[in-house]
Amino acid sequence: MKRVIDGDTIELSTGQRVRYLGVDTPETVHPDKPIECYGPEASAANRTLVEGKRVQLETDISDRDKYGRLLRYVSVDGQDVAAKLIREGYAYVYSRKPDIARLKTYAALERAAREARVGLWADCHQ
């Protein structure tokens, strides 16, 4: 893994960008949007989880998004990065058919984070 772009996108050492499947984080680098509440925290959390580490990539149905980024589930040492971001309140579920293999799991994690008012669920008006 070369670098973290934001809370849900990384760049591999090959130069390919990877957009995490099933999750979205507040914006920090979108050219047409301001930095959103909890965006910097989400990017920092993602950096802590993946920077300098070997990531494992898993596909669902779609290969790439409209920007040419690879669409993948990302894990480090067997830990699902998106699941951890959701659980800790840095991200919320973002599902688009046909890539919904982990939707139920992610939705349950988001419900728990909302109810516990962790991360963005405590600090941002959602």
- The residues assigned a catalytic role are 19, 27, 69
Comparing CA positions, the residue from 41, 52, 53 lying closest to residue 6 is 41
Tokens representing 79 are 């830990």
| H/E stretch holding 74 | strand 70-76
Taking phi over 0 as left and psi of -120 to 50 as alpha, with beta for the rest, 106 belongs to alpha
- Spatial separation of the C-alpha atoms in residues 53 and 76, rounded to whole Å: 7
